[in-house]
Amino acid sequence: MNSIAEIFDNSKQLLDSIENFFDKYIGRPLLRKCGVIKMVDDIFVNSGMTYFDNPISRLLGDLKQSPVLEKVVSAKDLLIDKLLVCFAPASAYLMFKTDTFFRDYKQDTFYRFDKLPGANWERLQLETAKNVILDIESQTTDKHINALIFDDSLYARTGGKGTELCARVFDHNDHKTRLGYRMMTGGWTNGETFIPFAQSLLSTRDEKQMVGPNVRIDCRTLRGKRRAMAKTKGTLVVQHMVKQAHKAGIPFDYVLFDTWFSSPSQLAALKGIGTDVIAMIKKNSTKYIWRDPATGEEKKLNVKEIYSRNKKRRGRSRYLLSVDIIIPDSTGNAMKAKLVYVRNHSNRKDWVCFVCTDMTLDEEKILRAYTMRWKIETYFKMSKSYLKLRTECHSTSYDAITSHMVIVAIRYMILAIERFQNTDNRSLEELFYEVQRDIINEMMDCAIILILDIMLQSVKQHFKASDEQINGLLCTFIGNLPTPWRERFTMPTAA
């Protein structure tokens, strides 16, 4: 008798694309380089083991025929299951409890995968993103701008007193202090596709604001460096991520961020490593050197004073004012920059100001390039609302939370590259629901296969039916199904 699984059509394009994504952009060699290795699922004794007639052999056993055997799960299988569990209709806990999980291994193995001591999850995300970005660039023309976008978002934790490095963090959205981390994110975009290439969960250096345990770990180790980065100032983390992108070979023209990172020292530091910046700046008391076009005299003014002393453009121009300035830094050096004032669409009587350190770029291109910064906001929305960034991981380990954050970023890359390669108009939310629907159908198919297989085995055992009779019964059953269901089956062949 043919197995039901062999005559059931389970081909799913989006599910296959996840496997293809792993083979094309990650691969087993990269997992080994990043320390993401296979895990022991179970240890059992081989009862059929026989020893050579030697006391030492009887004690230790032959190396190739050890009495103690290990059941291991490959890193690829664990990582793919981690990626898929987001799209499942139930949590991993419920799937293990009801024996409906994707593969046959223990629940503890699934959760221990997040805490691999030697796993460099940050490198895995960077290398995967680099491979995706270079593949996208190879399929597009050169007539576009590539940019790196940096921003942070609240990673909230409820009851964070037991969570490592959990701190009181100010949320800029509702202007309240929450428990959790600042999820500093660096992403690449070409105006159409956004790829997150680096992330770090930032805590605080103030012991009074630290809520969770702060265990001291050797800073020379990977776990120690990860925790040291969590206590680093946000602007320094951005500089570190830009250097990582340079070193990895990620192509970009400009760095984009909002007012929280656009201090003169940050602009000077990024310019010092050969990176131009386009950013929005605050209306604060920070002084810039402005030259009066009438007298040629240099004055130190803030952005409000510069705006009030210059003539605005009239008509329906896209910007109100463009001024060349000099930005001084603490070391005494200075660099040229351009301020572009634009009318605030939320309040027509107000204005916002952008700064660009590339003097060759005109105002239209500056404004067009800065609009790409919104891509990172859609990533935060997608990862929190759909990819279960906040609700899936309940571990108190800082390493486990970091690995979960990276896995969520890879999930986003899968949807982004799927949308890019198919060149369709579907949003990432629509792609998410299509993958989720396919996984639900896959699980239903497995349940139907199991029920039919048991039923046919029972019929064969009870009525002593032959394989030809069972195949005939299957053909009659499939032929009586409604058309949508009949299309999911293929007729069995003769035994």
Show pLDDT as tens, one digit a residue, over the chain (495 residues): 344 343 333 345 667 778 889 999 999 999 999 999 998 887 766 655 554 455 544 454 554 555 667 788 999 999 999 998 888 878 889 889 888 888 889 999 999 999 998 899 999 999 999 999 999 999 888 788 999 999 999 999 887 788 999 999 888 777 888 899 999 999 999 988 999 999 999 999 888 899 999 888 888 899 999 999 999 999 999 999 999 999 999 999 999 999 888 888 899 999 989 999 999 998 988 899 998 887 888 889 999 999 999 988 877 788 899 999 998 876 667 889 999 999 888 887 889 999 999 999 999 999 999 999 999 999 999 999 989 998 899 899 999 999 999 999 999 999 898 888 776 556 667 777 677 777 777 666 666 777 777 788 888 887 788 878 888 887 888 777 777 766 666 655 554
Residues 243 and 300 in one domain: no
Residues 274 and 332 in one domain: yes
Residue of 77, 75, 73, 106 whose CA lies nearest to 18 = 77
**Alpha carbon distance 406, 425 (integer Å):** 26
Which sign does the torsion angle of CA 412, 413, 418, 420 carry?
positive
Residues 268 and 245 in one domain: no
Is residue 398 included in any domain, yes or no? yes
- How confident is the model at residue 63, as a pLDDT? 47
Is residue 305 included in any domain, yes or no? yes
> What contacts 105, CB < 8 A, 6 or more positions away?
41, 42, 71, 73
Is residue 233 included in any domain, yes or no? yes
Residues 235/240/242/243 CA torsion (nearest 10 deg): 150
Is residue 34 included in any domain, yes or no? no
Residues 244 and 262 in one domain: no
- How confident is the model at residue 65, as a pLDDT? 57
Q: Give the chain's radius of gyration (CA, Å).
A: 29
Question: Which CA distances in Å does 366 have to 106, 338, 436?
Answer: 53, 10, 39
Is residue 286 included in any domain, yes or no? yes
Is residue 458 included in any domain, yes or no? no
Residues 258 and 328 in one domain: yes
Is residue 296 included in any domain, yes or no? yes
Secondary element (H or E) of residue 334: strand 334-343
- How confident is the model at residue 16, as a pLDDT? 76
Residues 381 and 274 in one domain: yes
Residue where the block lists tokens 């290990």: 70
**Alpha carbon distance 457, 449 (integer Å):** 12
Q: How many domains does the chain have?
A: 2
> What contacts 438, CB < 8 A, 6 or more positions away?
12, 14, 15, 87
Is residue 184 included in any domain, yes or no? yes
Last residue of a domain, one of 363, 385, 407: 385
- How confident is the model at residue 426, as a pLDDT? 63
Residues 221 and 297 in one domain: no
Residues 260 and 231 in one domain: no
Last residue of a domain, one of 385, 410, 442: 385
Residues 235 and 381 in one domain: no
* Amino acid, single-letter form, for residue 325: I
Residues 368 and 327 in one domain: yes
Residues 192 and 225 in one domain: yes
Residues 272 and 311 in one domain: yes
Last residue of a domain, one of 385, 408, 441: 385
Expressed as residue numbers, the domain containing 349 is: 253-385
